[in-house]
């Protein structure tokens, strides 16, 4: 157990107190480790927390700080920092590269998550693990529920599904959140790429037969903080949940909205079928997620994707002015 040397005057003494004693006297906040904090979702979580008061003390790690493929490193970090909640935003997300880079994909996306589950079970931490809509095969014609049959089509989707199974069997008290089509202020994503290409090209061809819902990573980050807050009020509701923004569209529809909301003229957008845009990884054609479970369980309302996209584009515009 780590020893802390802060003032103990209010305890009537000057001696060092253990972490356990600090908890007892209510002197320390609960400790949350956000893994993958250099990625889109992790960075949005960090930004959100920097702007809002929290009852938690957050620790943020990228792969250079903590490599989740190394079980001992994970165990040591969690033990030494007395972590109580783990939020796993880490993944190898280059879906097409995963098809050829199978070993790395499995190491991070499957075994990395499994290591976190092992450490969570050993040190009695609550784990929130982030997963993907790519666990589905996209053959449904109504929004996927948490208990809909899974059947991943890609190496990435298969590794993420094995991670879910490992988390649920090793640390069954965990929460898994499947999300989809993430974009954010950070790293490269569809919105930022479209904005760049629309300013460079006269015409863009975009897939119009893959249906899903874009997700502003900041909305998911906020949802995760709500889930953590609820946990501290004794409402930890383990299980699988779906989170994306509300509504549905195609990549073409998404691009059209980006163009319209950004007042871009001149770049023609042309819808094409998936067969005209071959990729290494097979994408599911339909991954709209049913979000009623997460909304009803944690009592929040998820914004429509168009509302969040507009909010994001306004933020980007403000940041670019500075």
Catalytic residues, by residue number, are 156
Nearer to ligand NAP, 35 or 120 (CB): 35
What is the spatial distance between Cα 43 and Cα 319, in angstroms, rounded to a whole number?
A: 16
Nearer to ligand NAP, 173 or 189 (CB): 189
Which residues are near ligand NAP by CB under 6 A?
35-42, 62-64, 66-69, 89-93, 108, 112, 130, 132-133, 160, 179-182, 187
Q: What six digits make up the tokens of 112? A: 């990395």
Q: How far is the CB of 160 from ligand NAP (least distance, A)?
A: 6
Q: How far is the CB of 45 from ligand NAP (least distance, A)?
A: 9
Nearer to ligand NAP, 212 or 231 (CB): 212
Answer yes or no: are the C-beta atoms of 226 and 300 closer than 8 Å: yes
Q: How far is the CB of 233 from ligand NAP (least distance, A)?
A: 26
In the bound state, the residue with its beta carbon closest to ligand NAP is 39
Cα of first residue to Cα of last residue in the chain, in angstroms, is 45
Answer yes or no: are the C-beta atoms of 248 and 213 closer than 8 Å: yes
Answer yes or no: are the C-beta atoms of 207 and 252 closer than 8 Å: yes
Q: How far is CA 231 from CA 25, 173, 174, 225, 305, in A?
A: 20, 12, 12, 10, 27
Other beta carbons within 10 angstroms of residue 246's beta carbon come to 18
Nearer to ligand NAP, 17 or 191 (CB): 191
Nearer to ligand NAP, 62 or 247 (CB): 62
Element (H, E) at 211: strand 211-212
Q: How far is the CB of 129 from ligand NAP (least distance, A)?
A: 8
What is the spatial distance between Cα 43 and Cα 277, in angstroms, rounded to a whole number?
A: 31
3-state secondary structure 15-55: CCEEHHHHHHCCCCCEEEEEECCCCHHHHHHHHHHHHCCCC
Other beta carbons within 10 angstroms of residue 143's beta carbon come to 17
What is the spatial distance between Cα 75 and Cα 82, in angstroms, rounded to a whole number?
A: 10
Nearer to ligand NAP, 77 or 293 (CB): 77
What is the spatial distance between Cα 194 and Cα 217, in angstroms, rounded to a whole number?
A: 17
Q: How far is the CB of 318 from ligand NAP (least distance, A)?
A: 22
Answer yes or no: are the C-beta atoms of 130 and 76 closer than 8 Å: no
Q: How far is the CB of 289 from ligand NAP (least distance, A)?
A: 10
């Amino acid at each position: 157990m780590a020893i802390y040397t802060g003032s103990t005057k209010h305890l009537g003494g000057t001696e060092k107190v253990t972490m356990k004693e600090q908890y007892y006297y209510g002197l320390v906040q609960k400790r949350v480790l956000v893994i993958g904090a250099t990625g889109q979702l992790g960075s949005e979580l960090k930004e959100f927390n920097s702007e809002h008061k929290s009852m938690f003390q957050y620790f943020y790690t990228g792969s250079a700080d903590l490599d989740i493929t190394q079980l001992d490193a994970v165990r040591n970090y969690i033990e030494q920092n007395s972590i109580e909640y783990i939020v796993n935003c880490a993944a190898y997300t280059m879906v097409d590269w995963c098809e050829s880079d199978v070993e790395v994909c499995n190491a991070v996306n499957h075994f990395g998550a499994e290591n976190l589950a092992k450490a969570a079970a050993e040190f009695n931490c609550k784990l929130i693990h982030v997963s993907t809509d790519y666990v589905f095969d996209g053959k449904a014609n109504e929004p996927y529920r948490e208990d809909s049959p899974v059947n991943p089509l890609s190496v990435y989707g298969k590794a993420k599904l094995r991670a879910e199974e490992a988390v649920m069997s090793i640390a069954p008290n965990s929460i898994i959140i499947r999300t989809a089509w993430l974009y954010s202020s950070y790293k490269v994503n569809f919105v930022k790429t479209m904005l760049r290409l629309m300013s460079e090209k006269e015409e863009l061809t975009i897939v119009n037969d893959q249906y899903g819902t874009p997700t502003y990573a900041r909305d998911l980050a906020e949802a995760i903080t709500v889930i953590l807050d609820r946990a501290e009020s004794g409402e930890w509701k383990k299980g699988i949940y779906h989170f994306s923004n509300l509504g549905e569209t195609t990549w073409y529809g998404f691009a059209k909205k980006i163009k319209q909301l950004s007042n871009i003229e001149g770049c023609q957008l042309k819808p094409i079928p998936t067969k005209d845009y071959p990729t290494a990884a097979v994408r599911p054609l339909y991954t709209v997620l049913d979000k009623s479970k997460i909304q009803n369980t944690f009592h929040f309302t998820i914004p429509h994707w168009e509302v969040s996209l507009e909010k994001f584009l306004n933020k980007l515009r403000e940041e670019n002015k500075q």
